[in-house]
Amino acid sequence: METLKVASGSNPKSVAGAIAAVLEHDSKVELLAVGAGAVNQTVKAIAITRGYVAPKGTELFAVISFAKIEIDGNEKTAIRFVVEAH
């Protein structure tokens, strides 16, 4: 499963394109977001991705959880989105 990191400055359409590209060859993708802005961009990207894949008959499901990640030697809490295509 491929992991994509989303920042508050990430373009949701670009992230959506990356998600759709991963889902072309894998059934799920993990997205990690730290902070409210990054979570906001991630949710928008997932919604946009649904618009990309729905015409093909693909439905998306997301499982959301917390994850501990290390950034510059510091442990941070991220929101982890595992998006699956069915």
- Taking 70 as the pLDDT cut, the residues of the chain under it are none
Domains of the chain in start order, with CATH, are 2-85 (3.30.110.20)
Q: Give the chain's radius of gyration (CA, Å).
A: 13
Note if the pTM is more than 0.85: yes
pLDDT at 33: 98
Give the dihedral of Cα atoms 11, 21, 45, 10; nearest 10 deg. Answer: -20
Residues 66, 79 contacting (CB under 8 angstroms): yes
